[in-house]
A and B are shown apart, each in its own frame.
Chain A
């Protein structure tokens, strides 16, 4: 498990942050997912990476439901701007532009693009994790990529002046 975390830790965190839009909740979702996975035999799992992403998704969505209840109790604390990526620190403005571009995507497209690019999952695995058809996942990815390209191009155009 340590090796898996070394390899996929940042991707899992990116996915958890994408879903929760909250650093602490993302860490919490990852811990919860790992604690559930640790209790199960991993021998029969065909793809551990996809399985972990699916576990993180379940924990993150549970956490979101709990947070929604908590926020309702505390009279709706609004979520802050999306902050999935923080590195490389040397290109802070570019990182912020990417976070902003991601935040402009519909949630389902955002999820797919993070799983594909930073999770390294195939469309079949993404379909399994998110519970949609493979073609739907592929289509969402294409739309997301087009939007991200456009937003990042605008950022560079503005930066060039």
Chain B
């Protein structure tokens, strides 16, 4: 069976396709040259487009920057409404040291309402 297959294969090898044209390799080389040239052109085009986009961004007139207005606020005006806040306590300490802070906390404590934790929130 195996020998039969081998013989049949040998018989089949007696047939052949027509050969490729004689200049197939030269044409393949030419095709490659064209492809390389096309690739270079596409790269150059991409690079040029990127450069144009970049220069457009760089040369665009920048909007004028207006500095934010400085507001002079008196310490009394700037006093926050929440007396227990960090800012309020810092302010009190800055004004009168530890005694002022104690007094401030006393005032703040008086403003707080007692909360019954047994009641649902």
Task: List A residues at the B interface (Cβ < 8 Å).
Answer: 1-2, 5, 9-14, 17, 23, 27, 30-36, 38-39, 84-88, 94-95, 98, 116-118, 145, 148-149
Contacts and interface: CB of A to CB of B under 8 A. Distances in A.
Given A145-B5, A145-B8, A34 B24 contact: yes
Given A2-B25, A30-B20, A34-B25, A39 B32 contact: yes
A117 B29 contact: no
B31 interface: yes
Given A11-B17, A94-B15, A118-B17, 19 more contacts: A5-B20, A5-B25, A9-B20, A10-B18, A10-B20, A13-B18, A13-B20, A14-B17, A27-B21, A32-B28, A34-B28, A35-B31, A35-B35, A38-B28, A39-B32, A39-B36, A84-B17, A88-B15, A117-B13
B interface majority secondary structure? helix
B28 A148 contact: no
A118 B16 contact: yes
Interface in B1-40: 5, 8-9, 12-21, 24-25, 27-29, 31-32, 35-36
A27 B20 contact: yes
Interface residues of B, number: 22
25 contacts: A5-B24, A10-B16, A10-B18, A10-B20, A12-B20, A14-B16, A27-B21, A30-B24, A31-B31, A32-B28, A34-B25, A34-B28, A35-B32, A38-B32, A39-B32, A85-B15, A85-B16, A86-B16, A87-B15, A95-B15, A116-B9, A145-B8, A145-B9, A148-B8, A149-B8
Given A10-B17, A13-B19, A14-B17, A1 B25 contact: yes
A87 B15 CA distance: 6
Contact of B17 (A32, A35, A38, A86): A86
A17 B17 contact: yes
A interface majority secondary structure? helix
Given A117-B9, A145-B8, A31 B15 contact: no
